[in-house]
Chain A
Amino acid sequence: MTTASRKAYGVKGAPYAFLLPAAVLFLLFFALPIGYAIWLSFRKVKVSGLGLGSGARKEVWAGLENYTDALTDSELVNGALRVLGYGCIVVPVMLGLALLFALMLDSDKVRLAPFTRLAIFLPYAIPGVVAALLWGFLYLPDVSPFYFVLEKLGLPQPDLLDGGPLYLALSNIAVWGGTGFNMIVIYTSLQAIPAEVYEAAKLDGATPLQIALRIKIPMVAPSLVLTFFFSIIATLQVFNEPTTLKPLTNSVSTTWSPLMKVYQDAFGKGDIHAAAAQATIIAVATLLLSFGFLRVANRRNKQEAAR
């Protein structure tokens, strides 16, 4: 009797014991920092007198001041707009290419598929900083093969690290780094489609293009949603690539993207309270966008299923 009840207790306690390490780490490195950031965002440093001597700098309650400052800060707003523009290039191009390559890999009689699949996936193994560094040099007129070719052809040589082309240059790095991973995700779900589906379509006289558009793409819609979702999150958080290109050009400011602005305010200016408020705003925006997107996607899926 006692052993039986102890055993039952053991089973009941077991999942919590297994989850303990994750829970401790979550509390220490996720929950506590988030709580601390939110707390900091409602505080500010008040300087009395000249700010000299002990007690001259005091941390006080700031209410929503940091938030109103952040939302009216043109640097942050401009950074958000820049990232929006950047995302409008990266996400559709990257996912479009990923889908295209996945469909090509999945098509009949394609040659060199294993080699090309590996080559396109390869950039995933290269850190964003190193990727930005490599492309950064390819954008530099003095060392770039593109400029060499343009010069030989007598064509104009645009500055890839300034103005509008800078967006393309930065987007290109993200597209290069992310296409392969997304391609693999989509390709894997293409492979999971049973062959009978295609055979039935072929018997009905469908062309490969029709099969791709009418059968394959709708059937991999869940993985498209997943890749879309992760791409949006990654885009909002762009930091590494513009930071890496910064030493190569004067056109990337220290506040180019919202995350760079947070970093700059926290560690450049030393205003952790402003940085905390901005980080909170970015986190809330990310959550709203992701959940909004998931809701729309889910509703779509339900409608599809209902039909």
Chain B
Amino acid sequence: MSSLAVGKADTAAGVTPGAARSRPPLRRRIALVPTAALLLGALYCLLPVAWVVIAATKSGSELFATFTFLPGTGFADNVSDLNAYRDGVYWQWMGNSALYAGLGALLSTLVSAFSGYALAVYRFPGREAIFNTLLAGVLMPPVILAVPQYLLLAKADLTDAYLGVLLPQILSPYGVYLSRIYASAAVPADVVEAGRMDGAGEWRIFTRVALPMMVPGMVTVFLFQFVAIWNNFLLPYIMLSDDEKFPITLGLFTLLEQGANTPALYTLVITGAFLAVIPLVALFLVIQRFWSLDLLSGAVKS
């Protein structure tokens, strides 16, 4: 019996016994245990975020006196206090983070795209050696790098400067690795060969042919690097002492450190944390559909 006939019978006489039988079972079973487990997991992951949203609305006295998940009345005051704190240095921190993460991720993605393309498309002496050397960078504990990086950059007078935080984060071994995987899946060798037959130079082939093909993967590399730099704490912690140049992570940390002596600052820390979470969560929600997350696991469907 064709489905068209079932459809006709349906419209003609409502639900006929024959039509009901050909449908999938009516009891639309829900897998209860998996759904419940996932909901518990979601609850656990959202709990601190929900807490900070509510806590940011509380005035200093309400924070310690009222039930945690009861909204307070002090949100506007908290925000204006945060604005007033050290002439709005908080917004400077946010701007700095945007600069470090935005520019850093952009440069990092370009460098990764160059190297990933070269490693995927060309056969040349030293290819695997270069790749493995770059990859070993993933394993280096950040501190074995950051301490001597600090000492070396101090000699170049670049500590306590924007460049001191920006430059060491441009090369990402993981970004190179991802770009190589993506380039070898997305850029077919015969396309590159065809470009050469047409007399295009290597640079032209890369910018006009290969790079457009690599864009989806490079978006993932960019986002990955953006989050990594935005979340970085150790490097700016070591590199910077002038708090005008702090990223938001370091700024909030110093605020918390001072808050340990003056609990009045706790409301500032909490409001600051809440506002700092907003842009990243918003970014995350908007862009998560553009991520090819399968790339992160090293699996690319070509």
**Contact at A30–B145, with CB atoms within 8 Å?**
yes
In Å, the complex CA distance between A113 and B35 comes to: 8
**Contact at A143–B152, with CB atoms within 8 Å?**
no
- A138, CB-defined interface residue at 8 Å: yes
- A150, CB-defined interface residue at 8 Å: no
Q: Which of A244-287 contact B (CB under 8 A)?
A: 244, 247-248, 259, 262-263, 266-267, 272, 275-276, 279-280, 282-283, 286-287
Interface size class of B (residues with CB under 8 A): 35 or more
Binds B, one of A58-66, A69-77, A182-190: A182-190
- A228, CB-defined interface residue at 8 Å: no
Note all chain A residues with C-beta closer than 8 A to B115.
18-19, 21-22
**Contact at B130–A19, with CB atoms within 8 Å?**
yes
**Contact at A185–B297, with CB atoms within 8 Å?**
yes
**Contact at A126–B277, with CB atoms within 8 Å?**
yes
Contacts A15-B118, A15-B124; A130 near B273 (Cβ below 8 A): yes
- B242, CB-defined interface residue at 8 Å: no
Which secondary structure dominates where chain B touches chain A?
helix
Partner of A122, one of B52, B152, B284: B284
Q: Which of A6-35 contact B (CB under 8 A)?
A: 10-12, 14-19, 21-23, 25-26, 28-30, 32-34
**Contact at A34–B145, with CB atoms within 8 Å?**
yes
Note all chain B residues with C-beta closer than 8 A to A126.
49, 231, 277, 280-281
Contacts A116-B38, A143-B63; A26 near B133 (Cβ below 8 A): yes
Closest A residue by C-beta to B288: A118
Closest B residue by C-beta to A134: B48
Interface size class of A (residues with CB under 8 A): 35 or more
Contacts A105-B38, A130-B276, A134-B48; A279 near B144 (Cβ below 8 A): yes
In Å, the complex CA distance between A185 and B196 comes to: 37
Q: How far is the CB of A111 from chain B (nearest CB, A)?
A: 5
Digit string of B22-37 for contact with A (CB within 8 Å is 1, else 0)? 0000001111011101
Closest B residue by C-beta to A30: B137
In Å, the complex CA distance between A130 and B133 comes to: 33
Q: Which of B205-259 contact A (CB under 8 A)?
A: 206, 227, 230-231, 233-234, 237-238, 248-250, 252-253, 256-257, 259
Interface residues of A (CB under 8 A from B): 10-12, 14-19, 21-23, 25-26, 28-30, 32-34, 36-37, 40, 97, 100-101, 103-105, 107-113, 115-131, 133-138, 142-145, 148, 176, 179-181, 184-186, 188-189, 191-192, 223, 226, 233, 236-237, 239-240, 243-244, 247-248, 259, 262-263, 266-267, 272, 275-276, 279-280, 282-283, 286-287, 290
18 further contact pairs, Cβ within 8 A, besides A112-B38, A128-B249, A129-B250: A18-B117, A19-B119, A21-B111, A21-B114, A29-B171, A36-B152, A37-B147, A101-B38, A101-B41, A112-B35, A124-B227, A127-B231, A127-B280, A148-B68, A233-B138, A239-B142, A263-B147, A279-B147
